[in-house]
Amino acid sequence: MLVTGAFTVLETRRYLDAQLAGDLRSALARVGERGGLGVQPDGDDDDRGRPGPPGAPGADSTLVLALAADGSVASVGGAPVNYVVERDGGGGRLDDDQIARLRAAAGGGEPVRVPLGDGVGEYLVTSAAVRGGGTVVVGVSTEPVDELLARLLALVVGGTLVGLVVVGVGGAVVIRRSLAPLDRVATTAQQVSALQLTEGDVSLAVRVPAGDADGRTEVGQVGLALNTMLDDVEAALRARQDSETRVRRFVADASHELRTPLASIRGYAELTRREPEPVPDGVTHALGRVEAEALRMQGLVEDLLLLARLDSGRPLEREPVDLSLLAVNAVSDAHAASPDHRWGLDLPDDPVEVPGDAARLHQVLANLLANARTHTPPGTRVDLGVRPEGDLVRLTVSDDGPGIPDDLRPTVFERFTRGDDSRSRAQGSTGLGLSIVSAVVSAHGGRVDVESRPGATTFSVLLPAG
């Protein structure tokens, strides 16, 4: 709109300037040919303010000024040729200032615009030589052209502003109506993005409305593609959940079934060692190893069974648990299991209680201390701390051992994650201890974090205080 308006104004001005120049040439031809004047004033010196003599240039406001060779105003029939003829028939003489301006502009011969002051306006003037060495200056008023251009410019500017307002308002309405289906599609996508899809039985009931999933429009194609994608994602999540459910059921059933034969193996091994008849040393050693491995396998089965139960959402007991007492017992057990480590305990003066399952929380502390004992060398200091923090209770297990490698830290709470390649071990590890910690803490509505660097490793457990 701006380019079109500017082009219209400039092209109109060019056309009107050309037309004004043509009018000026016509006026000059009427005044007289080169070498002489073609007008004859009536000779009355007192005709100032009266129309110009017959034959003066006609309909538009024009001016005529005849200059002698010495630059003075020439006279014809005793009357100086310096008058203006208005469009309405009036007119008058040019004053000295106006004559001086015209005299200054008369030398070039090319049409030039000359402002003649208030009441007279601006004229497009040109000059031509006349007989005797003089010059005749003829001009036509530029007022009609300027007025027309001013009106056109106002019309273009006003029309452009009105057009911009109309286009802006109309465009906003049309675009909002056109994009309303896309907003609804985006709303559906936002609702899906807020769902928890990482675990559990997930149902994607949100879909783009049928009216916004019409494949004949661009927005409808987006809505249709989103619905198709949600159908595929829901099917994949359902298949994943079914697979996880079958695996958990298998682990739980297998763990439960393995408990009986493992108990039998241990029982028969113990019974054989109590045999009064002499038993070869090799057999005694073998039976001892069988019993030890059966005991270790029984612990692994118990851990798997616990994880399967927690994964299935089986609720834990909810009763007040004295964490201070659990911490004292856990550190005492750890000291007995590894006297080569330096054990520390940091407890508040008053007992700290939380609602939960005492056996499972004791297992959390035991596993964290066992993890520190297993993966740090003798002489390492391990501290267990209990601190209330508002509505939460923080348990911390810190050690000054070698730390957890950076590549192992993101998966340290996953099942069967083992740090054999990076941290020395005093005994074997199943890789389930920290995963049990994470599962039990989550079942209590808390969370567990770890920060580690060489010389400072801290496991933090946050539990609801009430």
Q: Three-class SS string for 64-84?
A: EEEECCCCCECEECCEECEEE
For the ranges 85-99, 116-130, 247-261, 338-352, the maximum mean pLDDT occurs at: 338-352
**What is the structure's pLDDT at 38?**
43
| Comparison of pLDDT for 89 and 448, the residue scoring more | 448
Give yes or no for a contact between 55 and 83, defined as CB atoms under 8 angstroms apart: no
> Does residue 50 carry a pLDDT above 60?
no
Tell me how far apart the alpha carbons of residues 376 and 136 are, in angstroms, rounded to a whole number: 115
> Does residue 53 carry a pLDDT above 60?
no
DSSP letter (8 states) at residue 191 = H
Question: 77 falls in which pLDDT band (50, 70, 90)?
Answer: low
Q: How many Å separate Cα 222 from the centre of its chain?
A: 21
pLDDT, tens digit (0-9, with 9 covering 90-100), for 403-443 = 888 888 888 888 777 665 444 444 555 677 888 888 888 88
Q: Is the dihedral of CA 20, 22, 27, 28 positive or negative?
A: positive
Q: Count other Cβ atoms within 10 Å, centred on residue 357.
A: 18
Q: Name which of 121-130, 228-237, 304-313, 336-345 the model is least confident about.
A: 304-313
**What is the structure's pLDDT at 57?**
41
Question: 78 falls in which pLDDT band (50, 70, 90)?
Answer: low
| Comparison of pLDDT for 370 and 43, the residue scoring more | 370
**What is the structure's pLDDT at 108?**
65
Global model pTM greater than 0.75? no
> Does residue 275 carry a pLDDT above 50?
yes
Q: Count other Cβ atoms within 10 Å, centred on residue 394.
A: 15
Tell me how far apart the alpha carbons of residues 108 and 97 are, in angstroms, rounded to a whole number: 19
Q: Name which of 66-70, 235-239, 454-458 the model is least confident about.
A: 66-70
**What is the structure's pLDDT at 281?**
72
Residue 313's closest CA among 410, 456, 443?
Answer: 443
Residue count of the chain: 466
**What is the structure's pLDDT at 29?**
80
**What is the structure's pLDDT at 58?**
38
For the ranges 197-206, 239-248, 340-349, the maximum mean pLDDT occurs at: 340-349
Give yes or no for a contact between 397 and 380, defined as CB atoms under 8 angstroms apart: no
Question: 213 falls in which pLDDT band (50, 70, 90)?
Answer: confident
Q: What are phi and psi of 66, to 5 degrees?
A: -105, 125
Residue carrying structure tokens 């995963």:
435
pLDDT, tens digit (0-9, with 9 covering 90-100), for 120-177 = 788 888 888 776 677 788 888 888 888 899 999 999 999 889 989 999 999 999 988 8
pLDDT, tens digit (0-9, with 9 covering 90-100), for 325-377 = 999 999 999 999 899 999 999 999 888 889 988 888 998 999 899 988 888 89
**What is the structure's pLDDT at 46?**
39
For the ranges 2-6, 255-259, 312-316, the maximum mean pLDDT occurs at: 2-6
**What is the structure's pLDDT at 55?**
36
Q: How far is CA 46 from CA 34, 52, 96, in A?
A: 29, 12, 17
Residue 358 makes CB contacts below 8 A (sequence gap 6+) with 317, 319, 321, 326
Over residues 207-211, the mean pLDDT reads 80
Q: Give the N- to C-terminal CA distance of the chain in Å, as an integer.
A: 69
